[in-house]
Structure 1
Amino acid sequence: MTLIEPAPGGSHAPRPSDPYVGGSWNDGLMRATVSPSLVGRQADFEALEDAYADIVSGSTRTLLIGGEAGIGKTRLVAEFLQSMPPEAIVLRGQSVDFDRDAPPYAPILAALRSLAQEVGEAALFDASGPARDALALLLPELSAGDQSNAPVRGGADRLYDAVAEVLENVAAVRPVVLLVEDLHWIDPQSLGLLRFLIRVVEDSRLLILLTFRSDELGRGSALRALLPELDRNRRVERRELARLDRRQVREMATAILDSPPDEDELAQVYVRTEGVPFFVEELVCCSGVRSIDSFPDSLRDILLARYEQLGEPTQRMLRLLAAGGVRVEHELLVEVCDESAEAIDLAAGEAIAASVLVVDGTAYAFRHALVREAIHDQLLPGERVRFHTRYAQALAVPSGGGGADATAISYHWMAAHNVREAFIASLAAYQQARSSFAFATAATMGERALELWEQVSDAVELAGRTKVELLGEISYVLRNAGESERAILLIDEAIALSDPADAAAYALLLRNKASYLANIGQIGSIDLLRQALAVLEGQPPSVLRANVLGELAARLMLIARFDAAIEMADGAFAEASAVDNRARMSVASNIRGFSRLASGDIEAGIADLALAREYAVGNDSARLRYWVNQSDALNLLGRYEEAVRTAEEGAERARQRGVERTSGAVLLSNVISPLYALGQTQRADEMLDRALELDAPIGFSAPLRRLKVHAVLWSGDRPLAERLLRGWDASLRQQSRLDTQAQLGLALVSGELALARGDAAAAWSDVRVLIEPERHPFAAYDLPLVALAARVLAAARVTGRALSDANGEPRSSGALEGDVRIALSAASVWPTAPAYAAIVDAELGGPRGTGTDPELWQIAIAATADAVAPAQLLPYAQFRLAEALANAGDRAGARAAAHAARDRAESIGMGLIVDSVTELERRVGAATADHRDAPADAASLDALLTERERQVLDLVARGLSNGQIAEQLFISTKTASVHVSNILRKTGATTRTEAAYLSAHASP
């Protein structure tokens, strides 16, 4: 009797069964069963149940189940999924064990195809919303007849959006559980998509279950690098499954044997398996379990114990299956197997009954990957070649309209040592992966083709391109895969093999290398672009030359070489006009406009930017570049509300186009920065945190990171700001080598942090970039740094700290002040200059030049109240006025100025100023006589304090420290400190003891 029933027409397919319920077959050699109960995993099972309960209530959750091979990850998840209620949709994906040849998106595609079966193809595509075209690219067999043949725009990000949209929309109707097993084998594209889902999908009824072998996370593992990020995500829980103890091994053995095992035998089982559940099952179930002498001696023997006691036909079929991977479709097995359908049934039935194989839908799967690996190692050389050849040939004939999986075909031809066919398949896999934006897989397949190139006599004909052309293509793919260092190695080889006489091809390679260098923060791009121009000298006008000129102009603009950038942009515009390329005309106008504006020719710059918008119509790439520079320009000019509207428009288009993590990230920073300048701190904070979760590449995320450090510092949490900057400092400094905005922005935030901790020397080392010889001024970014430099000089004068010039030579503060004022004068045409100039004058005013002149701070307050001044400047100036008045002995005036500073600072969330005001009030005795003479009763305290402050005061009265108060009220120590400061200020108490006294005498 077979365990697989013939399907109509004579074909056969596995019948669904529970892979974890042991069979009763026993030929006297082996107990063909597994443990009928889940042992030692109750807490883990309950964690899964709790996670499902959370998603039912509307909270997305992710559980990572880790552990060594054989620890029981799959068994645990399978038991849990069997307990799912009928309304839950369970989607399964299995990572493919083909090493670096894993097909792109394999587990995700399996999950989506099962979802299509569950909800219907039409409903699946409807659920994808505006990203339908990207989903169709992933599932072409499901979208046949519904394609516009239009190229998918936006790259991998758009694919990610499509999958997220589908899961969110389906989960809105029914809870969804997405299981992806063996994450240690996962392809880079699937891992990136899962990372995106985990980070972005927040409030959907989606449970993501991931299993992985924690003992296979090598030093270079992408999953190993991702785990710390996942551990920080509050919606993610990671559980490591432990080995069984002796008591649990006895429990498992008793369940398998239906009776308690002999204690000596149990001791041997425990020692040899070390409590790994899979090995316990294998050892207990193998023949001779009643004889200690017959126990297998090695791990390999344990893994092969069941296999070696099967019949030869079954062993032969298992070796063939092992060449196909952990999971092989029944129809594919029929294609590659020489045996009759009945013989396949008999062999499969025997292997299933022996618990070597399990049925997984329409496929056979090894009960454990370790068994598959052990059996595959048994293949003889001739078998290896024959079996892998059969799989490659069978897979080359696609079924179901989905197209051949060229990546798997390449793997099998390589395993079969057929170089020519492996070369052809690798090229096909390269093209296939590239078309679906699976750049990591495309790069792997392309590099394999390059490795085989010299071994194939007609490689050029088969490839349809030269080796140089393929090197150039693959370097571009590597760049898109985030491997710019590797891309540079390949493009260097292409350049070395190229003929400069082929001007267009050679110049394109130089231009691409310039781009790759910029991606990793390396210098050299400008020289390469100039070389490319020299190569193209004398050539007819072309889009390539317009592109090179435009990119050179952009590089010069980024380092504040505005005159040179304008000249190059003029050339780019002329070249683009000659070939009638409006997109390149837009880019040239854009760069020229921003460069003119930044150099002080504001009206001409605005006119050029308007021209860029006109020429960008119909071209999303040019439009996005316009939105980036236009919104940045408006923000720098102090036109904050216009900047927000412009950047929001661009950010939405970037999201729709699927480039939210690149151009979209920059545009989001251009929304957030003017929101802070407007004082809309809460909205800016929320948007900033969401933008950072996109985890954009450093070239696009650097502004967001600087904004985050700055925002945290101004909120009053200096320790957190310090930690953030330490974590990001290396990448931010690398980026600052190529971008003056990045350089000045980093100097500003790093200098403010140093000054906040009282280190004027360190702060000066950051801000003295302003006085470096031969620097190119950038008014909009220089002004905040000039104001900070003045503040640092004043602080150094107070402490008597000596400072040095840009060469590290000591100089007098007077000479350094002269340099700072020169920098201020160079920026005087900028709209925000009056506010910053007033701040500089006030910072350096007073008898000793230390910022103690109240009249100058009054002038600064008037200047910073202007709408073009960032909102943070006014409360800062008000606080400094309070300090100056206190220094002059005008305590009443100081209290009034401090009160105004507090009100303004609190309204825009500037905790740093609030804390400073509180400290100043404590020093000058800001409490009123009314407060000190007021009766200390409960009513009066309740009128003064908030409910939370009254709770804190009660704990102060009990003698608790700020840290202990924080623990009691589940708040941070910093928050507890702020509450205590507010209590002292409101009650007029000068010490915690006095506050405790007031609390005791105010008790009802």
Structure 2
Amino acid sequence: MHNGSVGAAGLQVGRRPEREELASALHDSAAGRPRAVLVSGEAGIGKTSLVAEATSGPAATGHQVLWGHCMRFAADSSPYLPIGQLLAQWCRGAEPSEKARVLTGAEHLATIAPAVGATTGQADASRIVPLVAAVVDRIAEAGPVVLVVDDVQWADGSSLDLLAYLVAGFGEGQRLCVVATYRDTELGEGHRLHGWLADVARLPSVSTMRLERLGLADVEELVIRLRSEVAVGPLVDRIFDEARGNPYYTELLVHGAADHPGGGQVEGLQQVLLGSWHRLGPEGRELLQLLAIGGRPVAVDVLERLVAARGGDPDSVSPSLAEATASGLTTVATGGEAWFHHPLVAEVVAGTLTTEARTRVHREYVEVLESSADLATASRASHLALHHHGAGDHDDAFVWSLRAADEAAAVRGYAEELEHLHRACGLWEEVGEEARGRAGRRADLWLRASNSEWSAGEHLLAIRLREDAILRQDEGDDPVLAMRLRLPLSEWRIGCGLDARDGVEDRRRVVELAEARCPGSPEHVQALALLVHAEAWVQDWGAVQHAATAVKMARRTGSTEALAWALAMRSETPPWDRALEDATRAFDLAHQVGDPRLTGWAATRLANRLGVVGRDEEVCDVLLTTFRHLVAAGSVHDAMHASPAYGAAYLLELGRWEETREVLRLLLSHRLSAAMGAVTRGVAALMAVRTGDAAAGRSHLTRARELRPRHGAAGDILELLEIEALADLRDSREALTLAARLMPAQVSATPMDADELLVIAARAAGDLGEDPRGRAEAISLLDEIVELRGPDHPGFECTGPEDLVHPARGALFAADRARCHGDTDTADLWRTAVTTCAEAGMVWHEALASYQLGRALLAERGSRADAASALRHAKDVAAGLGAAPIVRDVEEVARQAHVLLDGASPPGSPTSLTPREREILALVAEGRTNGQIGTELFISTKTVSVHVSHILAKLDAASRTEATTVARRRGLLE
């Protein structure tokens, strides 16, 4: 079922660049290079027709094209609406054996697409997004697939997240093309699509196009085609003046609507739309009015019952729909649902009814729906909430809105949940006490609604609603509830860039309120703990006393939750010898409590302390295990407190790049706060640069700075990521300039943070200093940064026997500083750097250091065999990671020095298998299929297949069985 122009798709005229772009995207997807195309323009401009023509033309030969449509009325009431449609379309056309192959293990998708089949037990909503991605990959294994989602300006939030997840997860070999159309003229201020477009448009393999109105020559060609005449005379000028180059209105005018010109552009166009409707018989006109008030595709048998309930002939429905379809007004999908051929018609036809008539139709829908079981349960509540509201039945609309919100929340449809909760909030003053009792107190409903808004990524709305709830509270309201409303506000404002970075004063006010209204309560403890965090951030060591007070108060309350908050934040204050113990205890207590927000905060505090002592692997485990746990529990935005973007940065540093990709994919598919979104983009930028996609890296950096401008705050990982990406891009001067700007803030945070910045600066200076013309400048810039680091604390100080990271950083700094100075005897320094990086698990740095070692040996006329060995090791490690720039640099040096690189690490050596490959190898050894492995690890079947191929090649094995045998013999499965 396509929305679009009245005529056939082949009536498109002009648009040559756009046609070529779509054809190129289809060609790329067929060749295993996935693409996404975002098509925009005003209503009726021909977006859908252009896409329909492209996906049915020669360029789409062999592609399976699946369509999903977003609906304007009640668009947010049904999570995953267009995704369910395209899955249902595929199910209707698939052979039973193909359905069995693709849908194995995907039974939970029946919650959004009943055509998938029956599901058993309670659906696990947390798996819907990865399951859809896995199903799409399996469909694409049989041939290239095009997913078209029409009118995404009306898309539900869950569908937008899922589309972003698909696009963020594009991988080589994936035969998938995603096309989305939207009306850019209907995106008002604050529309959720603005942020989505800004994020998705900057992902790799995404292109955008905007369709403009047709010129006079194109309109003439279109009129000639439609009328099958060569001489159209003044008719073209008349139509062009009336439709202003809009293809849809042009076609309507040609088909007879020109008999009803309006006085002005807008009025005339409405007349054009109504012209075809007026020419229908009375039964057809009435039926289309009912359909328009339905708000979305309506089952034909529901329309028949509705007509019968109004005293009409239900047998007239099918002939009336046939008449409307012949006039280009409606279409009936294979599944037996009717809707308008173009959404504009629905808007105008709905406008032909008076307010009283609309209310009556809504009430009639209620009567039919309440006596019918035709709608799926998840949609039934949302429809009844909509129609009760339209009928003026406030109590019923309130109750059904709450039920619909519960059902949306059950499938993680946070955007849909908040729409229903907003309706309930708006009805609060209109409903009776019995209905209100379903929601609890007013503050309870406002609290839930604001939490839902935050979870849906509507961060500014969440803040405003929470502030509104605080203003509406009566003095006699529950003081504990009042505190719960206030506690997260400061962190929300900071995350959205509305408050100063620290939020100290705001949190002091909350503490004062707690002392006045609920002294000594767990909420008072939490307020104190959050104040400690803010004060520690700005080096206000009044935090030490506040932390001690919070711990004592927490122990007096006997609350495990309060003690977890107090210990977590005390870990950020001196004396430092107990900080790790405090953070560990807080993390354990938070898990006992089970509160997602507290668990995320505690995880980040523990990660901070582990990072200080160089236990980076444990940092990854704490942050990412917590993140995945909270996401699986449905607390996506609470999971952000576990700082998954920081965890991804650690994964990247440790060479766990497949895991980095999976985390980034999930993060990039959600509407994050400005702060978290910026850091995520910073990690994505560094990842893109290190895998060889410099353009994508720069695009991610641009988006990061749109979300959060530079400010040089202490402990700001985004600044570090940007400087590191610039250094890797060989923008050495800019990297060094920014490093000098950031260094004072890093020193004020911790010397260890400053040391990490020194390593990056030395690498940039080393690159700049390799050219003798830039050496003096490089030395001067690096010396300035070293001086800013200061002599108060020894550089790269090892914090204990478990700390392998700081010695490795010290070795890298020494080697790159010598390179910057043009020293001619650096091989020993690079040899130490290779060894220490390998011991610390800093895989990318190990590869880079080994490359520099090979260069140094060649330059110093050392052993060519040793140089060749170092270069081979660098290439092997870099290739295992996917670090294409290092591989290219190694090959270029080897070519120039006539060094052979055919002696890579032996198959099956521990360094030749990445951590993700070892994980998959263990599952292969258990006899798991690619599909089962993908489900277990939440990655696509295609990704698993690629990993298995790499494993077989590295183990020199011909089959999975042989690979398992070789791996056991070599001790790789222990």
What amino acid does structure 1 have at the position aligned with 2:743? V
Task: Identify unmatched segments of 5+ residues in structure 2.
Answer: 903-974
Counterparts of 1:514-553 in structure 2, within 5 Å, are 514-521=490-497, 522-523=499-500
Partner of 2:342: 368
Partner of 1:97: 72
Tell whether 2:761 aligns with 1:783.
Answer: no
Instruction: Give the SS at the match of 2:149.
Output: strand
TM superposition shift of 1:95: 1.3
Aligned counterpart in structure 2 of residue 505 of structure 1, from 475, 481, 497: 481
CA pair 111-546 structure 1, distance change in 2 beyond 3 A: farther
Is the contact made by 1:876 and 1:901 (CA closer than 8 Å) also made in structure 2? no
Partner of 1:330: 300
CA pair 661-945 structure 1, distance change in 2 beyond 3 A: farther
What amino acid does structure 2 have at the position aligned with 1:482? G
Aligned counterpart in structure 1 of residue 315 of structure 2, from 318, 323, 342: 342
Partner of 1:147: 121
Is the contact made by 2:797 and 2:806 (CA closer than 8 Å) also made in structure 1? yes
User: 1:754-783, CA deviations, whole angstroms, 9 ceiling, x for partnerless residues?
Assistant: 993179776433212256xxx5x5343233
Taking only aligned residues, the RMSD between alpha carbons, in angstroms, comes to 6.3
User: 1:460-506, CA deviations, whole angstroms, 9 ceiling, x for partnerless residues?
Assistant: 73654332222222221221122222222222232233357733212
User: 1:331-376, CA deviations, whole angstroms, 9 ceiling, x for partnerless residues?
Assistant: 2323333212234455444434444333333233333333333332
Partner of 1:159: 128
Aligned counterpart in structure 2 of residue 351 of structure 1, from 301, 324, 330: 324
Aligned counterpart in structure 2 of residue 311 of structure 1, from 268, 281, 292: 281
Is the contact made by 1:217 and 1:224 (CA closer than 8 Å) also made in structure 2? yes
Is the contact made by 1:304 and 1:374 (CA closer than 8 Å) also made in structure 2? yes
Q: Give the TM-score normalised by structure 2.
A: 0.69
CA pair 121-571 structure 1, distance change in 2 beyond 3 A: farther
Counterparts of 1:861-876 in structure 2, within 5 Å, are 866=836, 867=839
Partner of 1:465: 440
Is the contact made by 1:879 and 1:917 (CA closer than 8 Å) also made in structure 2? yes
CA pair 696-423 structure 1, distance change in 2 beyond 3 A: closer
What amino acid does structure 2 have at the position aligned with 1:436? V
User: 1:202-237, CA deviations, whole angstroms, 9 ceiling, x for partnerless residues?
Assistant: 455545443434544455544455445555555545
TM superposition shift of 1:193: 2.0
Instruction: Give the SS at the match of 2:120.
Output: coil
Aligned counterpart in structure 2 of residue 285 of structure 1, from 250, 255, 276: 255
Paired with 2:26 and 2:256, the residues of 1 have a C-alpha distance of 37
Instruction: Give the SS at the match of 1:358.
Output: strand
Tell whether 2:701 aligns with 1:728.
Answer: no
Paired with 1:185 and 1:534, the residues of 2 have a C-alpha distance of 44
TM superposition shift of 1:532: 5.6
Instruction: Give the SS at the match of 1:194.
Output: helix
Is the contact made by 2:40 and 2:210 (CA closer than 8 Å) also made in structure 1? yes
Partner of 1:389: 363
CA pair 330-417 structure 1, distance change in 2 beyond 3 A: same
CA pair 562-897 structure 1, distance change in 2 beyond 3 A: farther
Is the contact made by 1:835 and 1:860 (CA closer than 8 Å) also made in structure 2? no
TM superposition shift of 1:821: 0.5
Out of 632-641 and 535-544, give the one that drifted further. 535-544
TM superposition shift of 1:300: 2.8
Paired with 2:29 and 2:391, the residues of 1 have a C-alpha distance of 46
Partner of 2:291: 321
Instruction: Give the SS at the match of 1:147.
Output: coil
Counterparts of 1:219-230 in structure 2, within 5 Å, are 220-227=190-197, 229-230=199-200
Is the contact made by 2:690 and 2:728 (CA closer than 8 Å) also made in structure 1? no
CA pair 764-757 structure 1, distance change in 2 beyond 3 A: same
Instruction: Give the SS at the match of 2:357.
Output: helix
Partner of 2:160: 191
User: 1:894-942, CA deviations, whole angstroms, 9 ceiling, x for partnerless residues?
Assistant: x9999999999888779999999999x9xxxxx9xxxxxxxxxxxx989
What amino acid does structure 2 have at the position aligned with 1:388? H
CA pair 553-903 structure 1, distance change in 2 beyond 3 A: farther
What amino acid does structure 1 have at the position aligned with 2:487? R
What is the number of residues matched between the two proteins? 869
Paired with 1:253 and 1:798, the residues of 2 have a C-alpha distance of 70
Paired with 1:200 and 1:880, the residues of 2 have a C-alpha distance of 33
Instruction: Give the SS at the match of 1:491.
Output: helix
Partner of 2:85: 110
Paired with 1:344 and 1:533, the residues of 2 have a C-alpha distance of 65
User: 1:55-104, CA deviations, whole angstroms, 9 ceiling, x for partnerless residues?
Assistant: 56656554545444334444555567778999986644321121776544
Flag the structure with larger Rg.
1
TM superposition shift of 1:734: 7.5
TM superposition shift of 1:511: 1.6
Paired with 1:859 and 1:630, the residues of 2 have a C-alpha distance of 34
Paired with 1:437 and 1:627, the residues of 2 have a C-alpha distance of 23
Task: Identify unmatched segments of 5+ residues in structure 1.
Answer: 1-16, 22-32, 804-812, 922-926, 928-939, 948-1004
Paired with 1:209 and 1:199, the residues of 2 have a C-alpha distance of 14
Counterparts of 1:820-831 in structure 2, within 5 Å, are 820-824=790-794, 829=799, 831=803
Aligned counterpart in structure 2 of residue 765 of structure 1, from 741, 745, 748: 741
CA pair 852-882 structure 1, distance change in 2 beyond 3 A: farther
What amino acid does structure 2 have at the position aligned with 1:504? V
Is the contact made by 1:443 and 1:478 (CA closer than 8 Å) also made in structure 2? yes
TM superposition shift of 1:820: 0.7
Is the contact made by 2:81 and 2:112 (CA closer than 8 Å) also made in structure 1? no
Tell whether 2:613 aligns with 1:637.
Answer: yes
TM superposition shift of 1:577: 10
Is the contact made by 2:44 and 2:247 (CA closer than 8 Å) also made in structure 1? yes
Q: Which has the higher contact order (CA 8 A, sep 6+)?
A: 2
Identity across the alignment (%): 22
User: 1:266-323, CA deviations, whole angstroms, 9 ceiling, x for partnerless residues?
Assistant: 55445544554433443333289899xxx99932332222222333343333333332
Instruction: Give the SS at the match of 1:783.
Output: helix
CA pair 526-825 structure 1, distance change in 2 beyond 3 A: same
TM superposition shift of 1:517: 2.8
Instruction: Give the SS at the match of 1:212.
Output: strand
What amino acid does structure 1 have at the position aligned with 2:329? V
Partner of 1:956: none
TM superposition shift of 1:579: 5.2
Partner of 1:978: none
Counterparts of 1:886-905 in structure 2, within 5 Å, are none
CA pair 397-115 structure 1, distance change in 2 beyond 3 A: farther
Counterparts of 1:60-75 in structure 2, within 5 Å, are 60-75=34-49
Out of 657-666 and 473-482, give the one that drifted further. 657-666
CA pair 708-780 structure 1, distance change in 2 beyond 3 A: farther
Is the contact made by 1:63 and 1:239 (CA closer than 8 Å) also made in structure 2? yes
Is the contact made by 1:751 and 1:763 (CA closer than 8 Å) also made in structure 2? no
